[in-house]
Amino acid sequence: MSARRLLQLVLLVQALAATGIALAAVRWLDAGPWMAAALGLGSVALVRLLISMNNFVLAACFASPTPPAFRLGPWGRLRMLAEEFGASMVMTSWAMPWARAGMRVYADSPAVPVLLVHGYGCNSGYWVHLAPRLAHARISHATVDLLPVAGDIEHYVGQVERAAEALRVQTGAARIAVVAHSMGGLVTRAWLRRHGDARLARAITLGTPHFGTGLANFGLGVSAAQMRCKGGAPCTWLRELDAAEDGGRRARFTSIFSHHDNIISPQASSLLPGARNLAFGGIGHVALGRNPRILDAVMQELAALRTGDPLPA
């Protein structure tokens, strides 16, 4: 099943639940139509909020120590929760249920083309906030929908290869860059292990569990098993992926992550030795694809590929 169809079914269930609650409010609480609608929609939104809050609670069970410079007070935590909840609602209830993979090419652009690779349980709609920035900068880009949901990461490699080659051929570029969220970063690394890095200019990962996440222990499917870590030790698949990389390949990576990621925990799992690691704080996992600071960092990394200027430390 595709993420698009799965999310459409989830939306249908939520709509039915909201309608049922609204009808019950009219019948048993004598609520007016506007009050009943508010109760129905509010109840569904409350459940979604509780799910977001629970992810932060679970992440705390596996969390790595937060450096002093990134520690948050109560207001910062509340703002982070609000941003993550908002990002989750926009992505899963608006963007991803209707998204389809595509490509946008600017024939006269000198910029390195970009392939966007989404994460676990998502699809190309995750890039609804980054894609307009790429378009504004006239950066050719393509998205891919990895199928099936929760499938084997190794199975996704062929899909990424086809998307990467199509983008390279359509743009005439010798090399492309990859921006990948979460599991998408592992898919990218698996793709490079099988096909090499001669066509890669840069790989930028956002909140990728390079050495696993404790929350994957609760996930379904082969890909969740491939992202697991227990007792701080990554699973066999992750260890084999790590062993297949040398310093030259790692130097092509930029790993962007948050010390408050509510899905990748321990958060230090996103630290990739030999790569350029950019740490942020006060940002949740889904919000990495929407937060202006993260998007600015991604665009800065991509701009450096065009200009050849050194990146700031």
Sketch out the chain's domains with CATH numbers.
1-308 (3.40.50.1820)
The SS3 of residue 2 is coil
Give yes or no for residue 308 having a pLDDT over 60: no
Distance CA 286, CA 281 (A): 14
Around Cβ 307, how many Cβ atoms within 10 Å?
9
What would the pLDDT profile of 118-169 be if each residue is shown by its tens digit? 999 999 999 999 999 999 999 999 999 999 999 999 999 999 999 999 999 9
The pLDDT value recorded for residue 26 is 86
What global pTM score does this model have? 0.95
The pLDDT value recorded for residue 311 is 54
Give yes or no for residue 307 having a pLDDT over 80: no
The pLDDT value recorded for residue 32 is 86
Pick from 203, 207, 175: which is nearest to 55 by CA? 207
CA angle centred on 147, ends 153 and 120, rounded to 5°: 60
Give the containing element (helix H, strand E) for 144.
strand 141-144
Determine the length of the chain.
Answer: 313
Distance CA 185, CA 206 (A): 7
Around Cβ 243, how many Cβ atoms within 10 Å?
8
Torsion angle in degrees (nearest 10) through CA of 276, 279, 280, 284? 90
The pLDDT value recorded for residue 67 is 97
Residue 313: pLDDT band with limits 50, 70, 90: low
The pLDDT value recorded for residue 173 is 94
Q: Where are the beta strands (DSSP E) in 29-140?
A: 103-104, 114-117
What would the pLDDT profile of 218-276 be if each residue is shown by its tens digit? 999 999 999 999 888 999 999 999 999 999 999 999 999 999 999 999 999 999 999 99
Residue 170: pLDDT band with limits 50, 70, 90: very high
DSSP notation for 157-208: HHHHHHHHHHHHHHHT-S-EEEEEETHHHHHHHHHHHHH-STTEEEEEEES-
